[in-house]
Chains A and B, each alone.
Chain A
Amino acid sequence: MLRFLAPFAVFVALIIFFAIGLTRDPREIPSPLINQPAPTFTLQQLQVPAKQFSPADMRGQVWLFNVWASWCVSCREEHPVFVELAKRNLVPIVGLNYKDQRPDALQWLTQFGNPYVLSVTDFDGRIGIDYGVYGVPETYVIDKQGVIRMKHIGPVTPQILQDKILPKVQELSK
């Protein structure tokens, strides 16, 4: 008798997995860089090409590293959230202008506002690869020692900022 129930048992197990699977997004790939030192680089700044920036410059403070581009539609969606955040002066935001053109990027910032303390230019996308960027926008939370503590893929909504990112920033700032 019991062996005739085996197919049903297998099926129940499958259904449980499917139910859990429905709550996940198969396209969101967790980054292996969490709790790893942020990859170093030295890049030109967007506004002042003569000046350079490297993550080491941010040692000692918690900061957000936001990957954006003028061609990226969902960046426009999250941008007001960062503009608001910048006004509150809670955490510095550094932008990585990814695979863009300088005039387009500058024009975009003029049009939608500039929440970044500065943006660096990654026109050929190499630094993006080092950070495991695969879908713009992406946002990293980096701690005082320069270790990546969190990564958010996709546009940051006010809710995600409030519930996920800011608590993390506060925890790391202690």
Chain B
Amino acid sequence: MMRAILGVFLLSLMAFSQADEAPPTAQDPVLEARLNHLAKELRCLVCQNETLADSRADLALDLRREVRDKMRQGMSDAQIKDYLTQRYGDFVLYRPPVKSATWLLWFGPFLILIAAIAGLTYFLKRRRKVLEEIPLSAEETARLKSLLHSENKQA
């Protein structure tokens, strides 16, 4: 019964409503876009591991409302991040700030890269030296030849 009523109601609505372009859910789409952009880098605290943009948790909704208010008041993204870290600590930031405790985090990968390249160069140089010092035996030379031969056929 309820469904029938609802159906009639919906039909009548359809008859009246023409194909109108749907308005954005947010009152201020520009602000909302800025909010979403910022919220993608903020962590929801109660959820296991979600951004403030993705989370549907109550606190996330509240925090989004709070951030929206601050944006309306004219606070910059950096100021809003400060506002949140003053209350929740660096934990809310998915992009950890660069400071002494995170130097290793931010520069570590490039240190590893430099170390790896240095290691690689050292290894290749040393390897050549070691191999040059040991002359090939007759048997090895023969094998090398057959190897080369089979490689050329395969490659």
Contacts and interface: CB of A to CB of B under 8 A. Distances in A.
Interface stretch (B27-35, B85-93, B146-154): B85-93
A99 B58 contact: yes
A103 interface: no
A29 B87 contact: no
Most chain B CB atoms below 10 A, which of A128, A131, A132: A132
Given A134-B45, A135-B46, 12 more contacts: A29-B89, A31-B89, A32-B89, A99-B62, A124-B62, A125-B59, A126-B66, A129-B62, A129-B66, A129-B87, A132-B87, A134-B46
Contact of B59 (A33, A124, A131, A134): A134
B63 interface: yes
Contacts of B46: 134-135
22 contacts: A29-B45, A29-B89, A31-B88, A32-B86, A32-B87, A32-B88, A32-B89, A33-B86, A33-B87, A99-B62, A124-B62, A125-B59, A128-B62, A129-B62, A129-B63, A130-B87, A131-B87, A132-B87, A132-B89, A134-B45, A134-B88, A135-B46
Contact of A125 (B45, B62, B88, B91): B62
B55 to A, nearest CB: 12
Chain A contact residues (Cβ within 8 angstroms of B): what range?
Answer: 10 to 19
Interface string A114-144: 0000000000111011111011000000000
A127 B62 CA distance: 11
A128 B88 CA distance: 11
Given A125-B59, A134-B45, A29 B88 contact: yes
A30 B89 contact: yes
B73 to A, nearest CB: 14
Nearest to A32: B89
Interface in B9-67: 45-46, 58-59, 62-63, 66
Given A134-B46, A135-B46, A29 B91 contact: yes
A128 B89 CA distance: 15
Contacts of A32: 85-89
Interface string B78-99: 0000000111110100000000
A132 B86 CA distance: 8
A134 B59 CA distance: 7
Contacts of A124: 62
Identify the 9 closest CB pairs spanning chains A and B, nearest first: A134-B45, A132-B87, A32-B89, A125-B62, A29-B91, A132-B88, A134-B46, A129-B66, A134-B59
